[in-house]
Amino acid sequence: MKIIMLVSNDLVTDQRVKRSCLLLQEMGYDVFVLGRILPNSPSSLHLPYKHKRFHLPFHKGPLFYLHLNIVFFIYLLFHKFDVVWANDLDTLLPSVLVVSIKKKKKIVYDSHEFFTGVPELNGRPLVRNIWTWIERYSMRKLTWMITVNDAIARLYRRLYGIDVLVIRNVPIRKKEFKPKSRIELNLPLDKYILLIQGRGINIDRGVEEAIEAMQWVNNAILYIIGNGDVFPKLPSLVEKFHLHKKVRIIPTLPPDELILYTFNADVGLSLDKPTSINYRCSLPNKFFDYLHAGLAVLASDLYELQKLIKTYQVGITIISHDPRHIAEKINFMLSDRSRLERWKENARKASLELHWDVEKIKLKEKLYEYFKH
């Protein structure tokens, strides 16, 4: 059985897609992944599965999505496959259209977020209506789908009456891992390290407020590692508040390098604002990365995050995005080393339950059932 997987990114850091591909290969399927090349993408990738990336004339906006969908449609139309696996709504329409033409083919839809509820669509009713139409049309063609947490699954079930499988974005448990020391990474030995990481450092992620909060945080340095819509604006905020000694900004690192920094931090920050239904229902990937690295967590008071933080006792939440309030919470977390160490130990214990070997069992069983019919 040949499975073609569609992704709108450059395949470099998408760990969910990588985990899914490795599972499919483990199950004996022939996997081929289609993505795209960005201006800063590496020219070649060493991935353990076949892949192809397209050069597109546009990298964002309506023309990008139009070209992406046309390219994927044409490729699927003229190549053999048994299953097309669409990751997120921006790859679903060409999958549905081609399967309508090529009968007896199957679709797996993995929605990594509540796409029509992202903050980038706020104040853009025409664009939101277009994506909503695409979603409604496409979902009528599906029998089931995958998403990342219970809150988003409930939304899709209510809207479309569809069977939704929840597969959380948990990392593969690293059984043999040797982190580098702070000395090797040139990290401070006499300060607590706070960390915000991710490729989606976008609008309403709370990063700007975290930087401003560092004016009142004692004995700590904030590292921000990744990229996103607001990332280019962050150095000017550091300059504005004179925080050169308290904030470090590092562009996206490969996963194997990023994890070295994560394991040397003390507190991981996840400060998404509840300004959109997508963020209100979110469960960011970095939260699980923090747990696997043994970090205490300071997070927004969002439903999915709050539930896990309380269940596993790995940190605290904020009730406001006021920078002084964030600073107060950070200082509280750092004021008692024994309490901080308990949170960090609880995070390590939580990671023994919240890892890919547990989640993939559910996905594996569903796929066997779906593919055999």
pLDDT digits (tens, 9 = 90+) for 36-88: 999 888 888 889 999 999 999 999 899 999 999 999 999 999 999 999 999 99
Task: Over range 333-342, report the average pLDDT.
Answer: 98
**156 phi and psi angles, rounded to 5 deg:** -65, -40
* Residue spans per domain, the chain: 2-170+356-371, 192-351
List strand residue ranges (DSSP E) for the chain, in order: 2-6, 30-37, 50-55, 83-87, 106-111, 144-147, 163-166, 192-198, 220-226, 247-251, 267-270, 296-299, 315-317
pLDDT value at position 133? 97
Task: Over range 319-339, report the average pLDDT.
Answer: 98
Q: What is the mean pLDDT of the chain?
A: 94
- The pLDDT > 90 percentage for the chain reads 83
pLDDT at 31 over 90: yes
- CATH code: domain 192-351 is 3.40.50.2000
More confident of the two residues 40 and 310? 310
Q: Yes or no: is domain 2-170+356-371 CATH 3.40.50.2000?
A: yes
Cα separation, 267 vs 265, whole angstroms:
6
Q: Is there a shared CATH topology between the 2-170+356-371 domain and the 192-351 domain?
A: yes
Predicted confidence band of residue 199 (pLDDT cuts 50, 70, 90):
confident
More confident of the two residues 44 and 370? 370
pLDDT value at position 173? 87
User: Among 72-76, 203-207, 326-330, where is mean pLDDT lowest?
Assistant: 203-207
Angle 255-258-262 from CA coordinates, rounded to 5°? 125
* Helices (H), ranges, 15-84: 15-26, 61-77
Predicted confidence band of residue 179 (pLDDT cuts 50, 70, 90):
confident
Predicted confidence band of residue 328 (pLDDT cuts 50, 70, 90):
very high
Task: Over range 25-45, report the average pLDDT.
Answer: 93
pLDDT value at position 22? 96
Collapsed DSSP state (helix, strand, coil) of residue 35: strand
pLDDT at 195 over 80: yes
- What the block records as the tokens of 158 is 């209510």
pLDDT at 373 over 80: no
pLDDT tens-place string over residues 216-263: 999 999 999 998 889 999 999 999 999 999 999 999 898 889 999 999
Residues near 294 by Cβ (< 8 Å), separated by ≥ 6?
A: 263, 344, 345, 347, 348, 351
pLDDT value at position 131? 96
- Give the per-residue SS3 of 122-147: CCCHHHHHHHHHHHHHHHCCCCEEEE
pLDDT tens-place string over residues 151-176: 999 999 999 999 999 999 999 988 77
User: Bridge partners of 316?
Assistant: 298
- What the block records as the tokens of 11 is 């395949």
pLDDT value at position 53? 97
Q: What is the radius of gyration, based on Cα positions, of the chain?
A: 21
CA distances from 97 to 102, 157, 288 (A): 9, 23, 35
pLDDT value at position 279? 86
Task: Over range 101-114, report the average pLDDT.
Answer: 95
pLDDT value at position 246? 97
